[in-house]
Structure 1
Amino acid sequence: MNKKKILVTFIESGFGHITSARAISDRLKAKYGERYDVQDCDIMKDSEKTEEFERFLTRQTQATNKIHGYGFFVFGIMETLGGESFLKFTHKTIFKSFVNATIEAFKNHAPDCIVSTHYFITFCAVEYKKRFAPDCLVVTYNPDNNVHPWWDNRDGIFITNNVYAAEEAVKRRKFNGANIRTVNFTARDDIAACKESKEFFREKYGIDKNAFCVIVADGGYALGKCKKVTDELLKTKKRLTLISVAGKNQKVYDYFISKNVNDNIDFIPLPFMRNVYELYRAADVFITKAGPNSVLDCVLMNTPVIIDYYPHPIEKATKKLFVDKYACGEYIKSPKKIRKRVEEFIDNPSLLSEYAKNTKKFNKECNGADEIADIIDEALGGEK
């Protein structure tokens, strides 16, 4: 008997879409690998045309992180010009060739179900279903904490990770409420399985067990305030272990490793790390821009967060959810004020206790990726 094929799509436009897709794929394979043919697919690597568009999306993501105000400008234009209707217009005109190339990739794979974590893939999947495969199930997991105006609301199951986003999808983005599902936050298998203590990871990475430890990062591209915050923290006279992660930004990494550091600081500059969550666990606090998946991974490791920057409405929603609503940390824009606050934490670590306590309300055992796998199984008919 031929198994139904589930195509879990991966796309680089920031790394949150990738980690969310990985979490879903992990649980689909673990729970239903014998029932379905679950395939991971770097769909944008299918042709030169799709690769070109992925590079374009990556550049836009980097620009929103790097150019102050650009992200809010872009999303404002998208909203003003019609949101989802503007999405359809641009992708059927300006971006038509890229859409068609992606649809051709879907035709080559001939899936029974397409799993997407990115608006462009969802749009192309809905178009593929409309034109060529009416029985194909389109399942979208939105890894953000709000619903931006370019999500396609025409067809398929749309899954959010909080009730506020679900409400926004129906009331503001005009999704059919019957197509909306809400699940717990998703976790990749490696994060869900991580039970080791802070002390364990400090020993693993040679981090002083008695020193206050801060990790600074800005997603995969280090284009936020990572460099400025690192420079400011290196001015402290207090005992500190500082881990600064440059991601895939070689210039920032080279800058970090060239630094001369005072004896009171253990400075650990690092490039991109797939298991960076282990360092989140080792640290006392994580300083970052409001990338939804970076903040989530840190919270799942039970480490408080300082958010220093949100470049567009998606990340503003993350700050509102994890700082204002769930109280897992603080929002501080100024690198100088961040240094002063870290120095207060060094003198009185109990100031972080309530934030750390609040992170423990997020139970990794209640993994939204498990729920998504179940939703897909049910929609495909389950075991008959």
Structure 2
Amino acid sequence: MNKNKSEHTKDDNYLKHVSQIDQVNFLNFRRYLIDWYETVKRDLPWRKNQDPYKVWVSEIMLQQTQVDTVIPYFDRFIKQFPTPAALANAEEDQVLKAWEGLGYYSRARNLHAAVKEVAASYGGQVPVDKEELKSLKGIGPYTLGAIMSIAYNQPEPAVDGNVMRVLSRVFIIEEDIKKVKTRHIFEALVRRLIDQKRPSDFNQGLMELGALICKPTKPLCEECPLQSICLAHQQKIETTLPVKSKAKKQKKLNYYVAVIESPEGKILIEKRPSEGLLANLYQFPMIEQTKTDCSLLSEYLSAEYDTNLNQEQMLEPVKHVFSHLIWSIDAVKFMAQASFIPKEHQRWVDKKELGDLAFPVPHQKVLRQI
């Protein structure tokens, strides 16, 4: 069985879950959507010339992050790294610093690694071949589809949360969008729906519709170009869709953060491990609150570093919410009576250097207080 026939058979199997597919006119869907998109599409910096590198960077930044937040980061990032070659030649610390504040730093590290591969194997040009592009680190099904359709105008599905929300309502798809199988259902549907001549406008139109009109809690149905063919709207059940299982409860972790200053006015920092949460970012020393009481923190750290540390002040507490964790931080400023040799992953830095290093958001909040 050839590859195209195999994919078609898979799609047929997934589309069995879209029981009301025949009740929506595909031609009208495409026409209404693209006509609307041409009229209302936002003037976003990565849309100006659909450069594959800029589309790639924007799509990675937009994962888990709102458009308005991304725009200034994107502009600064492209100014600093205007081409794949410029990004490939950068040091990781430079890339992480440029990404500072966007969060989900594995996105930046994967992008950096993938662009290095583009420079080494593809002459600095983002691959137009689907299989080559898919082989790059951090390129999943959504990013692959977005680059192929938006930059190269190929009819590939790019299914994100916005797209699933729109389609679940138009076709009344009651599958849990948290499940991998459900994403395959929507990808199969988009492959049937997509405008073969204008896949870039079609996919961007779907995303735009989900972002601006078909919102999660209060959809603006009266302004929707698909209102007349939306099955959920006809049945007044649009707010019940999409079906989404509840996220697991976030785990709460309590920490002390120690801002330690030497007699020479330098600040002790440390680098996080190269794997895991916030990998390779800098931070102030962190201590789990289960290890000691706040009143004994000075004695605990003095023993840890084999020198006397005097507590100077309590800083404002910091709370930071990750997707799966909540950090609650009590930050304390200490003065060391004498300099000491830092641990292997730590070093002393001048205060003026702190602004050049990439810190995670909770530690940026501490940094702004010193």
* TM, length-normalised to structure 1: 0.25
Larger Rg: 2
